Structure 1
Amino acid sequence: MKRKKLNGILASAITAGMILAGCNATATPEIGAAETTETSVPEEKQESSAAEEEKQETSAPEEKQEEENNETSAPDEKKETSALKEKPAGGEHEITSESYPVYAMTEPLGMDMKLYFLDGVKDLPYIESEEILFLINDALLGDEASGINFTMEKNGSIITYTRHHNEEKAFDDNIPLTFDFDKDTIDFMDFDLFCKSPGSSTLLDLTAMHVFNDKGEPAVFQKVDRGSYDRYGDSLVLPLGEYGIDMIMQDGLYLVPLQTINDFLITAPSGANLFFNCKNLILTAKASECEDLYYEGETGERSPALQEYGYKELCLMMDYLYGLKEPHEIEHFAQLFHENGFEAMLKSSDPKNADIAIYRTITDYLDDGHSQFGSYSYLTGKNDYKAPKGASEYRWNDHYERYTKAREKFYPDGIPGYEEVGNTAYITFDQFYMESVEGEEYYTTDPKDFSDQDTIGLIMKAHSMITRENSPIKNVVIDLSCNLGGMADTAVFTLGWFLGEASIGMKNTMTGAMCSSTYRCDVNRDRKFDEKDELGDRRLFCLTSPVSFSCGNLVPCIFKESNKVTLLGRTSGGGSCVVEPASSAWGTSFQLSGIKRLSFVMNGAFYDIDRGADPDYAISTPEQYYDRKALTEYINSIY
């Protein structure tokens, strides 16, 4: 099989995913990371457990239990009988292999990948250590131009992958990842450093834009050392054995379940999923992006092996990769699945029942806005069933309808991106969006030709109008009242414009790593980062509502902490985590509030933004937001 570097193709797929996927604020270009276009739920629904004070027999993967009914056992239990057929004499499995074509979304990559199967079970694939190296080095994390490459070393039952950075004194050099096939553990010395994007200047960089031209001249963003720092997280050991998940070392092969590799070496660092439908392997954020190809797989029941492993891997993945476990009072998802009655559905042979259990868990028990169900498994096939909306989503939809209807009364033909009313300029965007990640493109277009849909272009255009000679503008208002969120780069640019320097914090809830990043922005496009990119002594305001979500919530939270911008309206809608695409071992496609949680930094401490920002001055009704003549008079009355 001929191999080739996939990094460029993957980057293209990720960029497409950013634009298509929905409300997110990404540190690195993640598929599904651009969280803007989908209607999201801003308020998190916290589920309190009546049995929380009691020790649940099924609660934690670490607790060993003695139960007559295996259906209620925790996923970490080593069962006496395996769903795989009994091993032949000598304790060895019957291992077969098959190669499958690989696609990036719907684009064939002209190559195959070999997968392995145990004891005739064809819907539960394993991947070998050499293929894992190829994924890490050639498809996901390696980068020749940046001098980053990965090597593999075998030592008995231990496989070690090491990240190398050829740059002298690089802080992300020689970072190991160890698979122990005797202990069934995966050990990251430093997950964030091992998975660090080649273009990131920090552990948890917020921006994805290419900010230098061929001459090395800066464009759009400049990272400021002052106020920026990295705090490394703890080492991370994934205890697969405690969840009852086996890695197989046999016949010179080192086999790991494909879905485990997908969850922690593909999805978590890069925001993609590697879907398997028994016919193809498809690298994409969501199955909906390649439905025709994905649903070529045959429908049918899950094998007993897939039922068992799929449940355990789902518990492992959500225990580690769901970023809001603490406020939702979820200690272990095995406990939640047992208490909400979905455990039996998730372990059943019917993939539709298992899919619906995931759907209902997201809508009823997570209900956090970023977490959304996507598509049914290929084994289920396309399905029209939709779970009822959760309480928070229902409220958010009501708010969204009220505000958009009120706006239509005053702007029946659509609200302009930039509008001047007397001495006040209004800049409105309903999502944080940019049309390209190439920063240089903002220097080759006249500002008046920028699209109002491109947040950075709209701000550049607005700045040129507001700062023009003899400008009457004394007040500048950013209207985020119907903003659903979006791409982090544009939120950072908005903050930099209003504040001069934008300082934003991010925490990895899985590792504990924290990063504070400070940026300046070249708003007037002169390739200098100075006071001419700011608005001087003009008075600054921001309109927020319960609809303002994710990045639409991040911006007012940072404004509030800065004490430089006056907030008008209602408390913003929350949403603190970067969206993370996810999938089940049987192919369900969904997304979660991921492990990267946005924060503002005050007195050196990180504060979560999920509760939203309270206004300095309340606005009583949605109509008062959009009667801009009256609103301008009110703003001028505020001293």
Structure 2
Amino acid sequence: MINKKILFSLGFMGTFSLMPLGVISCVWHQNDDHLNITKESYKFYNLSSHHKIYSKSANLYFKENENIPYVSISEMINMLDGFLESSYISKLTSSFFNQKTYYWDNYKFTVNWKTNKMFVNNLGFFRFTKSSSTTDYSKHLKYISYNVHKTKDFKKTIEFNLEKYGLDILNYRDKLLIPLPVFNTLFCSQNYYNLYFNGENLYGAYFDLDDRTPNINKIKSGGFENKLQSLVDRKNTLGHLLWTLDHFYGLKDHKGISKFSDYLSDEDKNKILSTNPNSNNEAYAKLFYNKLNDLHTWMSMLSFYNDANTKVSSLNTMSSNSEQYRKILSKLIDLRKRRFYYGNVPPVRFVGNTAIISFDEFKTGTKNELAEPDAYKYDTYELMKYAMKEIKEYSMRNTPIKNIVVDLSLNGGGNVAAMYRALGFLTKKPIEDYDYNTLSKTISERKFRVDTDGNGRYNNLDGYPEYKWNVLVGKNTFSAANLFTAIAKYTNLARIIGQQSGGGECSVMPNVMADGTSYVISSNNASRILNGNDHYQSIESGIDPHKWMSYDDFYDDNKIWELVNN
């Protein structure tokens, strides 16, 4: 993610004036003041070390006999300052059209409480976040250009129609209120942060809460644990789930899904509508694992209405895709254990004129981790620097290294910025990357350089194209590792050896249902490869190798040597 501090000035033609974020009072419009809505202040706990949020409480609003809270957009943006850059937002209120419009830079977001619709002219509106205080994800990366291309299906304005999903927008005493789960999806989930209301407190977490989160049982033992749900709350939960998947599930078109309300059977929808959490869990597991069968989609934590000790692992979460993935994973792990002591693969090893670099995740180290003498254990860029230093020293004492193999056979992905930095070691040329947004129907093109020697300069002294690069891949080469493979192959940076990679073209998006269920999906940002003139090829199904290799030989260094020297 690129975080930029953008200075801007705004002009507006007409009779309205631009005002700072706050409340502007108007009385000549439709409102919901007749509803019985209660306002409650709850303690807020920020569990993320990536952002410093100083707010200690949050206002939540409740309709009568409903447990799913509403929030004021303005109040929540201000409350989350530290994660969000609240100073970026300005607001214009129109009393004539029953709507409010929020602006920053050239982006605008309009919310109409009469039609229960929201409109945004660019999804970049939701990216006004502050940089992580612990991790510099853009370190050693220099972005040369960024362009957005419109496809034939380009949407000038993106509409979020809550009315279709039975969800409401309120104008209560001149406060614009939307359901907390909707606010969370738009402003938080897309930026790898999520809000959770457990009936007693509001929590904010980096990425998501899951069954392995420290003290998770204490959080799950809130006011909703083992409590009876209402049918209204279940309808809102189903509505929010369908709304999220229809707009943000990136493989919707790939899988031929028109609407998730049609994709789900009546039986499954009835189980989600059930007030029994066991029925809810069963339907969720069937949807995410058996039906979608997508390795970038999974459940992290069950709803707050379950017993706190009930875990996702108690459900049937084995899909056909994950079964194949785990079968090959088990085989390769066993082969590694036979080849290396307890499967501990060295960062770089040598056989004749060939070096093999191995790492199983693309990682960006925190500032503290990068200060450690063994920083390469926490950061992929530092590992590549370490490996290249070892390769040069080996070449001086032994047979000069001619070939380098990057072993991604068990690399399930990780941080994309770390993947970009690793790619930079293969070339002196700028690296090109393309994303297709399945919601806006746009292609984003990025070009960047990597400072591989860490001297702060981005020039032709960076990169090591003098070596013949190879990438060892298989079914477990997934997500960011799959993208590394695709870029290396289609821009001729390396020869791909092994077997077809595992795919996973979409970045992940962590989400929270209205009942507190944590789940992750393939997001609406899908990586593409430019293959021919303006043909942006999907990489969801994986990348075929130039040279095939049996899994049995993946860690036989002599077999690898024979293959790359052939």
Fold similarity call, TM over 0.5: yes
Tell me the equivalent position of 2:488: 559
Q: Once the 2 structures are TM-superposed, how far is the Cα of residue 250 of structure 1 from its aligned partner?
A: 3.8
Asked whether the 8 Å contact 1:323–1:594 carries over to 2, the reply is yes
Is the contact between residue 419 and residue 426 of structure 1 (CA under 8 Å) also seen in structure 2?
yes
Does the CA-based 8 Å contact 2:100-2:111 persist in structure 1? yes
Give 1:272-291 correspondences, 5 Å limit. 272-284=193-205, 285-288=207-210, 289=213, 291=216
Residue deviations 1:254-306 (CA, integer Å, cap 9, x gap): 322111111222212x1222111111111113222351342131321211220
- Matching residue of 1:92: 34
Aligned mate of 1:158, from 76, 98, 120: 98
Match of 1:519 in 2: 448
Structure 2 portions without partners, runs of 5+: 5-31
Contact 2:142 2:458 in 1 (8 A): yes
In 2, Cα distance between the equivalents of 1:328 and 1:463?
42
**Are residues 534 and 338 of structure 1, via their aligned partners in 2, closer, same or farther at CA, if it must alter by over 3 Å?**
same
The aligned residue for residue 192 of structure 1 is 124
**1:404-442, Cα deviation, whole Å (9 max, x unpaired):** 11122111341101112111111000111121269xx86
After TM superposition, the structure 1 = structure 2 runs for residues 353-364 of structure 1, keeping only pairs within 5 Å, are 353-364=279-290
CA distance in structure 2 between the partners assigned to 1:247 and 1:488 by the alignment? 36
TM-superposed deviation, 1:313: 1.4
Matches within 5 A, 1:364-375: 364-375=290-301
C-alpha displacement of 1:198: 6.0
Distance in 1 separating the partners of 2:443 and 2:367:
25
2:238 is the counterpart of 1:311: yes
**The residue matched to 2:422 in structure 1 has which SS?**
helix
Tell me what 1:142 maps to: 85
Q: Secondary structure at the match of 1:533?
A: coil
User: 1:94, 1:445 → 2: CA distance?
Assistant: 57
CA distance in 2 between partners of 1:110 and 1:141 (Å): 12
C-alpha distance in structure 2 between counterparts of 1:403 and 1:578, whole Å: 25
| C-alpha distance 135-322 of structure 1, shift in aligned 2 (>3 A) | farther
1:130–1:625 CA distance, 2 compared to 1 (3 A):
closer
**Unmatched segments (≥5 aa) in structure 1:** 1-25, 30-89, 165-172, 201-207, 212-218
Contact kept? 2:85, 2:128, Cα under 8 Å: no
The counterpart of 1:294, out of the listed 215, 219, 223, is 219
Contact 2:55–2:79, Cα closer than 8 Å, also in 1: no
- Give the AA of the match of 1:220: H
Q: 2:159 aligns with which of 237, 240, 247?
A: 237
Q: Secondary structure at the match of 1:626?
A: coil
Q: State whether residues 464 and 524 of structure 1, in contact with CA within 8 Å, keep that contact through their aligned partners in structure 2.
A: no
* Matched-pair contact (CA < 8 Å) for 1:287–1:294: no
In 1, the alpha carbon distance for the partners of 2:137 and 2:234 equals 44
Query: More deviation in 450-459 or 272-281?
Result: 450-459
Task: State the number of aligned residues.
Answer: 515
How many angstroms does 1:578 deviate by? 0.8
Alignment partner of 2:327 out of 398, 401, 418? 398
- Residues in 1 aligned to 2:44 and 2:183: alpha-carbon distance in whole angstroms: 16
Cα deviation digits, residues 290-327 of structure 1 (max 9, x gap): 51342131321211220121111111111111111012
Matched residues in 1 for 2:277 and 2:2: separation? Answer: 34
Given candidates 343, 353, 359, the residue that maps to 1:429 is 359
Contact 2:102 2:108 survives alignment (8 Å): yes
Alpha-carbon distance, 1:135 to partner:
5.1
Q: TM-score, normalised by structure 1?
A: 0.75
Corresponding residue of 2:13? none
Which residue pairs with 1:55 in the alignment? none
Q: State the alpha-carbon separation in 1 of the partners of residues 3 and 259 from structure 2.
A: 28
Correspondence 1:220 to 2:140: yes
Offset of residue 194 of structure 1:
4.7
1:271 counterpart = 2:186? no
Residues 93 and 101 of structure 2 are in contact (CA less than 8 Å); yes or no, is this contact kept in structure 1?
yes
1:225-624 matches, cutoff 5 A:
225=145, 228-231=146-149, 234=155, 235-268=157-190, 270-284=191-205, 285-288=207-210, 289=213, 291-297=216-222, 298-299=224-225, 300-338=227-265, 341-382=267-308, 383-384=310-311, 385-413=314-342, 414-436=344-366, 449-468=374-393, 470=396, 472-500=400-428, 501-602=430-531, 603-620=533-550, 622-624=551-553
C-alpha distance in 2, partners of 1:97/1:91? 13
Aligned AA (2:75): E
The answer to whether the 8 A contact 1:463-1:524 is kept is: no
Measured at CA, do residues 304 and 248 of structure 1 come closer, stay the same or move farther in structure 2, by a change above 3 Å? same
1:131 aligns with 2:75: yes
How far is 1:618 from its partner? 0.5
Contact 1:152–1:159 (CA<8 Å) still a contact in 2?
A: no
1:518 aligned counterpart, secondary structure: strand
CA 1:606 to 1:614, structure 2 compared with 1: closer, same or farther past 3 Å? same
**Residues 42 and 201, structure 2, Cα contact 8 Å, conserved in 1:** yes
Match of 1:104 among 22, 46, 64: 46
More off after superposition, 91-100 vs 585-594: 91-100
Alpha-carbon deviation of 1:606? 2.3
Q: State the distance in 2 between where 1:373 and 1:445 align.
A: 34
Q: Secondary structure at the match of 1:265?
A: helix
The alpha carbon displacement at 1:530 in A equals 2.6
Match of 2:7 in 1: none
SS in 2 for 1:97: strand
Residues 73, 177 of structure 2: 8 Å contact kept? yes
User: What is the match of residue 118 of structure 1?
Assistant: 63
Q: Distance in 2 between matches of 1:491 and 1:521?
A: 11
Distance 1:229 1:132, change over 3 A: same
Distance 2:48 2:495 in 1: 47
Residue 624 of structure 1 aligns with an amino acid whose one-letter code is: D
Deviation string 1:329-367 (CA, Å, 9 cap, x unpaired) is 21111112226x311101111123213211221010112
Instruction: Read off the aligned partner of 1:272 and give its amino acid letter.
Output: Y
Q: 1:229 to 1:199 in 2, by over 3 A?
A: farther
Whole-angstrom CA distance in 1 between matches of 2:90 and 2:487: 38
Cα separation, 1, equivalents of 2:444 and 2:168: 34
Question: Is contact 2:335–2:552 with CA below 8 Å preserved after alignment?
Answer: yes
Residue aligned with 2:56, SS = strand
What SS does the corresponding residue of 2:187 show, helix, strand or coil? helix
Q: 2 CA distance for matches of 1:463 and 1:317?
A: 44
1:517 aligned partner, one-letter code? R
Partners of 1:130 and 1:193 lie apart in 2 by 15
